Structure 1
Amino acid sequence: MAKIYVLHENQEWTDHLVKRLEELQLPYEQWFLSEGTVDLTVEPPEGIFYSRMSASSHTRDHIYAPELTSAVLAWLERHGRRVLNGSSALRLELSKVKQYMELEKYGIKTPKTIAAVGKKQIVKAAEKLGVSAFITKHNRAGKGLGVQLFHSVDALGNYVESDAFEKPRDGVTLVQEYIESPEHSITRCEFVGGKFVYAVRVDTSEGFELCPADACQVGDLFCPAGEKVEEKPKFQIIDGFCEPIIQKYEELLRGNGIQVAGIEFIRNAAGEIYTYDINTNTNYNSDAEAAAGKYGMLELAKYLKKELEQIYVKN
C-alpha cells in the first residue's frame, strides 16, 4: 500500500507531524536517516516522500545525515517518485550563500554579506564590509549556529582567535551587515504546498533564542540584549498579515521546487525588508498557534493527504 514517507533525523521535531498524520488516519512510515544504506539496484516503494532533513543535524551527532539524505533523494527522483522538499530544497537548506543567491535572483533584498574561509579572511571580510555593526553566522547552520554581533573589527579579531570561536561545519563563515529592527522583532512567514499559511512575529528584545527564529546565543561582550519594556509573547501569529513580498517568496519556492518552508525577514527603521533565511525544515510554535487557532502541522498533514490521494486515487 502506498504511504507517506517522512525522511528526517530528529524525532522531537517530527513527533508533531506524526500526531497529525495519525489524527487524520493516514498511512505513514518514518525513515530516520542518521545512518543507513541506499540500495541503488532496486526501485523505491510506492508512495510520496517528504524530507525534513536539517542543516543542524551534526549538532545531534548525525554528521552525515544530509549526505545520506541527498543520496536517498537522488534515488527517489531518478525513479519518478513524488518527492516534497527534494534535492533542490536540501541544496538551499545546507547553504545560506545559495539561499541569498536565490533570494536576489527573485528580486528579494538581503543584507550585505561576505563569505569567508579562514580566521584571517573572516577579519578581512569585516574590514571590507565597512559597516558599524555586523554579525557572523555559519553558512551551513540551523539553530543560529555561529551567530554573533560585533561593533568593531577588533572585537571580531579577538573572538576568532579565542576558544569561543565556533568552526562552521562546512568551513564557511558569513560576515553580514547587522540590520536593526526598531521594534526588536523579526517576521517568519510559513508556507505549505508552496502557499502562504501565516506569519509569526518573533520578539528579539531579550536577544535570540532557538528556532523557529534564525537564532543565536551570544554573550554580553558581543550582543547586549535590549531592555524589555513589557511582557509579551515571544512568538505571536500576525492577524491579517499581507505584504507584497509574499508573492516573491512563493515564486522563489515554486522556482526551486520547495513545498514547505519558513522564510524570515527583518524590517529596519526605514521600513525596508531584508530577508536572511530560508528554512526548508520548518517548525511551528505551539503556544502561538494555540492562541491564533492556526496549526502548521495540521495544514501540512492535510497537504500530504491531498498529494497522496492525487497519485494513488482509491477506486
Structure 2
Amino acid sequence: MPELALLYEHPLWFEPLFAALDRSGVDYVKIAVGDHHFDPAGSPPPAPVIFNRVAMSSFLREPEHPLFYTAALLDHWRGQGALVLNGPEVMAIDSSKARQLSLLGRLGLTTPRTRVVHRAADLAGAAEEIGYPLLVKANVGGSGAGIMRFDSAAELAAVVAAGDQPRSVDQVLLVQEAVPARDGMIWRIETLDARFLYALEIAGAGQFDLCPADACGDERGPIAMRAFTPPAEIVAGAERVAQAMGMDVGGVEVMIDSRDGSAKFYDINALSNFVAKPTEVLGYDPHDNLVDWLKTKIAEARA
C-alpha cells in the first residue's frame, strides 16, 4: 500500500507538488476524484494518510461537481482509520463564506459588514442595511467566482429583476460592504500545520474571478505580487483561524481598510497550490516544506 494518497480534481495545479514528492521518494498515489466511486460498506482507504486537494472552484469546471461527494468520501476513509488532512470539517467551512465569516467573528477578527440570505428577493432589504457600494457574493466560491458589485439600489433591482444576480450551488448569498482596500492591495497569509509559512501582497483588490495564490493570468495579464512580512497581529490572526478550523494547509486573506486603517479578514482558502514561480517570488519552493511536513504525518500514521 502507498504511504500517501492525494485526492485532487484540477488536472494541472498539483504538478509542482507531484514533482516535489517524486524528488522526495515518498510512495504515493494520485486519485482523481472525477470518475471515482466508493462502497460505503467497504472501500478501505487507499493509503494510511489522505491529503485532500479538491478545490472549492471545482463547480466552475464541472456541473456535476465533487464538493459534497468529496466530503462524504473523506469522512468514510477517516472512519476506517485513515489520517485525513484538510478533511470534511475543513471543507465544510472552506465551502461556506458565511461560516468563514462567523468563525472569523468568533475569533475576534474584524470582517466586512455582511448579511446572509437565501432568496434573491431578500437581497434588496439586506442591501439597505449594508449601504452602497456593496458586493453580492455566492456562498460557495473559489477564485473569486460569483461576485458582483453594485453602486445603487436601482442597479441591484434591475439585476435581480432579470435574474442575473450571483448564484450559489447551496442557494446562499452574501451581501457585503465593498471595502476600499488601501493601495488596492490584498494580503494572503499562507499557513502550514497552522503556522505561518509566507505571505503575499497582491494588487488584486476590486478584481473578481481572481486566483492570487498561483497567479493565474488571463486577459488582464499577470497579477502583480510580492512576498512580504505582515504585522505580527495579522500573522497571529491567520494562525488562530487555521487552528480553530483544523486547517492543515491553507491561506487567509486580509485587506487594510483605507477609511480607518483596520484589517478586514474576509476569506479562507484551504486549497493552497502556492505561488507560481516560487523561487522568484519567495526565494525558495514551499512545496519542499509541504513534503517535509507530509513525511511527519506519514510517520505519525505508522506509529
- The alignment's TM-score, normalised by the length of structure 2, stands at 0.90
8 Å CA contact retained: 2:213, 2:275: no
Q: Does 1:274 align with 2:250?
A: no
Measured in 1, the distance between the counterparts of 2:105 and 2:84 equals 26
Distance, in Å, in 2 between the alignment partners of 1:78 and 1:84 is 13
Task: Measure how far apart 1:14 and its partner are.
Answer: 1.8
Match for 2:246 among 239, 247, 257? 257
Q: How many residues align?
A: 297
Q: How much does 1:34 deviate?
A: 2.2
Q: Which piece of structure 1 moves more, 97-106 or 117-126?
A: 117-126
Please name the residue that 1:171 is paired with.
Answer: 171
* Cα distance in 2, alignment partners of residues 264 and 163 from structure 1: 30
Alignment of 1:96 onto 2:86:
no
RMSD: 2.5
Q: Residue deviations 1:3-53, cap 9 Å, x none?
A: 211111112122221111112121111121124222233332442111112
The 1:203–1:311 alpha-carbon spacing in structure 2 relative to 1, beyond 3 Å, is same
3-state SS of 2:182 partner: coil
**CA–CA separation in structure 2 for the residues paired with 1:34 and 1:62:** 11
Structure 1 residue 137, shift from structure 2 partner: 1.1
Q: Secondary structure at the match of 1:122?
A: helix
1:32/1:48 CA distance change after superposition, 3 Å: same
Q: 1:263 to 1:214 in 2, by over 3 A?
A: farther
1:147 aligned partner: 147
**Partner AA of 2:114 in structure 1:** T
Q: Is residue 20–residue 298 contact of structure 1 (8 Å, CA) maintained in 2?
A: yes
Amino acid in structure 2 at the alignment position of 1:80: G
- 5+ residue gaps, structure 1, are 216-224, 226-231
Q: Is 1:245 the equivalent of 2:221?
A: no
Contact 1:34 1:62 (8 Å CA) reproduced:
no
| Alignment correspondent of 1:156 | 156
1:309 aligns with 2:288: no
Q: Which residue of 1 aligns with 2:116?
A: 115
Q: Which letter maps to 1:110? A: T
SS in structure 2 at match of 1:12 = coil
Q: Does the CA contact (< 8 Å) of 1:17 and 1:297 recur in 2?
A: yes
What does residue range 1-315 of structure 1 map to in structure 2 within 5 Å? 1-42=1-42, 43-61=44-62, 63-129=64-130, 131-162=131-162, 164-204=164-204, 207-208=207-208, 210-212=210-212, 234-238=224-228, 240-269=229-258, 270-287=260-277, 289-312=279-302
Normalised to the residue count of structure 1, the TM-score between the two structures is 0.86
**Residues 142 and 214 in structure 1, CA contact (< 8 A), matched pair in contact too:** no
Which one-letter code corresponds to 2:107 in the other structure? Y
Deviation per CA, 1:232-284: give whole Å up to 9, x if none.
Answer: 9612111x434213223222322222110110010012220011110011122
Structure 2 residue ranges without an equivalent (≥5): none
Amino acid at match of 1:188: R
Runs of 4+ displaced beyond 6 Å: none
- Greater Cα shift, 171-180 or 204-213: 204-213
For residues 198 and 125 of structure 1, the distance between their equivalents in structure 2, rounded to whole angstroms, comes to 36
C-alpha distance 148-62 of structure 1, shift in aligned 2 (>3 A): closer
Counterpart residue type for residue 81 of structure 1: A
